[in-house]
Amino acid sequence: MTTRRLMISMIAVCVAMALLAGCSRSPRVTFYTLSAAATPESSTPAFESVAIGPVTLPDLLDSPQLVVRTTTNRVDILEMHRWAEPLKSQIPRIIAADLTVLLNQARVSAYPQNAGLDAEYRILVDIQRFEMTAGEGVALDALWSVRRTGEDATKNGRSVVSEPAGAAGYDALVAAQSRALAVLSRDLAQALRAVAAPPR
């Protein structure tokens, strides 16, 4: 009888431990990446090589978690929703991919790739704001400069973009950020054409 009770007690302990182990599992983390969203444009002159970066952005955005604005003075830093790679490296890579499409497959490299060291054109981007707002969309505000290597002339500009999410959820907000970067890339492509145009 004692042996039977001991076995029942051991089985009960094992079942309890299994249940506790199941309950103590960490919540699943979801990882996100930006993607190129530009579409080809016609009548674009050929560019030999373009280098993007470095790209600077606010410290608040330089974190592994998604940051979503909920009110004017409040943001949520989402521990369970994270970037698969830092925005500081994603953004120049996505701009480079967008510009490759917009500039007739020009050789566009992103900082700090060595391929951009001898680039014909260089683009610097200072992102002032790149916010997701829950239930709304994305706001992008970026200062930029485009310069031809070896020349003093520089074209400076600013791109202010508002991109609605179009659907609920964080996937939609991340997709809106990709579209906002495509708009910024179109502005940069236009600036490159202006810099490349022969003087009148």
The string of pLDDT tens digits covering residues 74-130 is: 999 999 999 999 999 999 999 999 999 898 877 898 976 655 568 889 999 999 999
The predicted pLDDT at position 46 comes to 66
Q: Specify the higher pLDDT residue, 12 or 68.
A: 68
Q: From CA 71, how far away is CA 115, in angstroms rounded?
A: 42
- Give the pLDDT of residue 3: 61
Task: Give the predicted TM-score (pTM) of the model.
Answer: 0.82
Give the domain ranges of the chain. 32-196
Res. 23 pLDDT band, cuts 50 70 90: very low
Domain spanning 32-196: CATH superfamily: ABC-type transport auxiliary lipoprotein component (3.40.50.10610)
Beta-carbon contacts of 125 under 8 Å, excluding residues fewer than 6 positions away, are 52, 53, 55, 56, 91, 92, 95, 142, 143, 144, 184, 188
- pLDDT by residue (tens digit) across 159-184? 999 999 989 899 999 999 999 999 99
pLDDT value, residue 41 = 72
pLDDT given for residue 184 in this prediction? 97
**Strand pairing category for 107-110 and 49-56:** parallel
- Percent of the residues in the chain that have a pLDDT greater than 70, as a whole number: 80
pLDDT for 4 beyond 70: no
Q: How far is CA 54 from the centre of its chain?
A: 14
